[in-house]
């Protein structure tokens, strides 16, 4: 049983960051260590939220945190196009693709399956709450073994405008996109910092300076 707790902090933007808390036991990395991947295929997330933009708003935030943990991450948009050209029109079909085919055709050691449980902003009287909640599973393509699973969650109660993440990270792109469109995309980046949390996130991969040290 894993316990999570929520803490809201006002700091420029109001952030709520949820970790698989300090009080909980470290993740059991036995399978991860037995089948250490070099390369990870990130498939477009299954979207169980009410926002149709969730799949790609989230997909475009996963490469950096996973690659910075030391893994080769296949180009997410190229893979998406490639799958679509090969008879898999959506995330649902892609998540059903047999692992041996993924291994043969793309050469991935592991697949990261993400399901978006919540993605979007709820507007209230004086502020708004943007929540991203995703469940992630990393599966070995040789054996089908579950290597890692985690819950990624972040919440921003600031209301969107003027938030530090929007300004810093998507400064260029927001010139091309209506600023108010998709704050959940920015909050997804916060959720994804949890890939790097020691004892709960991914183990450092082959390109990471700490690879093999723990």
Partner 1 sequence: MLRTGALLTLLALLAGCATPTMYSWGRYEDVVYAMYAAPDKMPPARQVELLEEDFQKARSKNRPVPPGWHAHLGYLYYQLGKADQARQEFQTEKAQFPESGVFMDRLLGNLASK
- Residue ranges in contact with partner 1 by CB under 8 A: 7-9, 11, 15, 17, 19, 22, 38-39, 53, 56-57, 59-61, 63-65, 67-68, 70-79, 81-82, 104-107, 109, 165, 168-170, 172-173, 176-177, 181-182, 185, 189-190, 193-194, 196-197, 207-208
Q: Which is nearer to partner 1, 20 or 118 (CB)?
A: 20
Round to whole Å and give the CA distance between 86 and 80.
10
Nearest approach in angstroms of CB 12 to partner 1 is: 10
Round to whole Å and give the CA distance between 41 and 136.
12
Q: Which is nearer to partner 1, 30 or 63 (CB)?
A: 63
Torsion of CA 170, 174, 180, 184, to 10 degrees: -30
Q: Which is nearer to partner 1, 96 or 178 (CB)?
A: 178
**24 token code pair:** 């909980």
In this structure, how many other beta carbons lie within 10 angstroms of the beta carbon of residue 164?
13
Q: Which is nearer to partner 1, 99 or 197 (CB)?
A: 197
Cα→Cα distances 82→47, 64, 113, 197, Å: 20, 21, 17, 32
- As beta bridge partners, residue 152 has 134
Nearest approach in angstroms of CB 145 to partner 1 is: 19
Nearest approach in angstroms of CB 58 to partner 1 is: 10
Nearest approach in angstroms of CB 172 to partner 1 is: 6
Helix (H) or strand (E) holding 117, with range, is: strand 110-123
Q: Which is nearer to partner 1, 118 or 192 (CB)?
A: 192
């Amino acid at each position: 049983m894993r316990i999570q707790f929520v803490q809201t902090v006002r700091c420029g933007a109001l952030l709520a960051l949820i970790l698989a808390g300090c009080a909980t036991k470290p993740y059991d990395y036995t399978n991860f260590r037995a089948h250490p991947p070099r390369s990870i295929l990130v498939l477009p997330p299954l979207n169980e939220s009410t926002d149709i933009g969730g799949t790609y708003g989230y997909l475009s935030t996963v490469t950096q945190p996973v690659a910075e943990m030391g893994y080769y991450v296949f180009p997410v948009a190229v893979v998406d196009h490639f799958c679509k050209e090969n008879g898999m029109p959506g995330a649902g079909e892609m998540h059903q693709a047999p692992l041996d085919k993924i291994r043969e055709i793309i050469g991935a050691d592991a697949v990261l399956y993400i399901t978006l449980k919540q993605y979007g902003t709820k507007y209230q009287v004086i502020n708004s709450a943007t929540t991203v909640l995703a469940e992630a599973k990393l599966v070995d393509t040789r054996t089908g073994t579950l290597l890692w699973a985690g819950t990624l969650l972040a919440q921003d109660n600031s209301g969107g405008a003027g938030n530090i993440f929007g300004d810093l990270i998507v400064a260029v792109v927001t010139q091309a996109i209506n600023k108010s469109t998709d704050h959940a995309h920015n909050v997804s980046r916060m959720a994804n910092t949890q890939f790097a949390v020691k004892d709960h996130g991914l183990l450092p991969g082959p390109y990471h300076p700490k690879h093999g040290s723990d």
